[in-house]
Structure 1
Amino acid sequence: MRIIFLMAFLSFTILNSFSQFDSTYIYSYKEARDSFRKHRVIRVELSEIVCKKTKVPTRIKRCYNLEYISLRPRINMWAMPSGHRPCIVGFEASSIKSLPDWFINFKKLKELDLMGLIDFDLKTELKKIYPDNLEVLKISLPVIDDEMIKIISGFPKLKLLKIKGSLPDEEVEKIESLFPNCEVIISYAAYM
């Protein structure tokens, strides 16, 4: 009987010693959904479902410790300029039109990737993000108006703002001057 308890204790100890998790690992939706340890899912990429479903699945809200969420659609087209690194020029069409109201419950969220979501009302949807911890925001915008700047300035800890869009130099300078503590990267390519 003692041997059984000893074996059970050793196997439990060994399994728990290997159960340390890698905080840099990015789960796919299926991996996050099927994970028995939802509290360990910190980074999730939902690109596989963005083009298929119209809503973010509610099962993802069980992963309450999320620090990184990517809703970037899959890449559709590549361009290879001669002598340069490859750059991506197109995404698949996204079916997701809005974020669920329960996104505000991700209080530890530090990085949000909404790049490539074209039919997405960012002015409305960014209000559903818990503002106090967000450090990195990646978005696609054709133009930035004063209302959008006001919404982005509502994220006090923002350190990096990546914008995909062909913005005029005046708007780029305005954005950089309004966010002095934040690195602003404007890209004309679809992937950054």
Structure 2
Amino acid sequence: MTFYGFAKSVVYGIFKPWYRVEAIGVENFPKDGGVLLCSNHINNFDPIIVGIMAPRPVHYMAKEEIFRIPVLGGIVRKCNAFPVKRGFGDREALRSGLKVLKDGHVFGLFPEGTRSKTGELGKGLSGAGFFALRTEALVVPCAVIGPYKALHKLRVVYGKPIAMEEMRSTKASAEQVTELIMSEIAKLIKEYQ
């Protein structure tokens, strides 16, 4: 078993019963190939919850400060995360994200860029559209529907992959693609809230 698999099983055993996490739409998750997994962001635990419920290992960007913390930095790296410098375009992080997708893995992204303080879905940043347009990855919308309270039901909903062929062929902008992705996440929240 890989370190990722071991860590996922341990964390799953803690979080799933504590938050009564339910995964919906797992059948929509592509079994292979690059997947850009785009989710809303309501809690600091979202990357963990989305990751443990996904049927495939998920790679994430994480703020570079985490990687400087002894022990934690090594654990985060072994759990498929790579550093990003926040606040400006980090070309190395962009290249890493593209490589994850081109190598046929799952790249988890929170298009809002930061956690929503109100729980409402915010405006997405163009990064999601950037990755969707520059790879052939399937884009899967995801919604985390709370609350994050002990023994209350928490849902992770995976939508059907969003058809990107037309957006790619018409040379849509990264902003337009992100808006489409955010609208699909909004539909999942409305349907399952």
TM-score by length of 1: 0.31
Instruction: Please say which structure displays the higher CA radius of gyration.
Output: 1
Q: Which has the higher helix share?
A: 2
TM-score by length of 2: 0.31
Compare relative contact order (CA 8 Å, sep 6+) and give the higher one, 1 or 2: 2
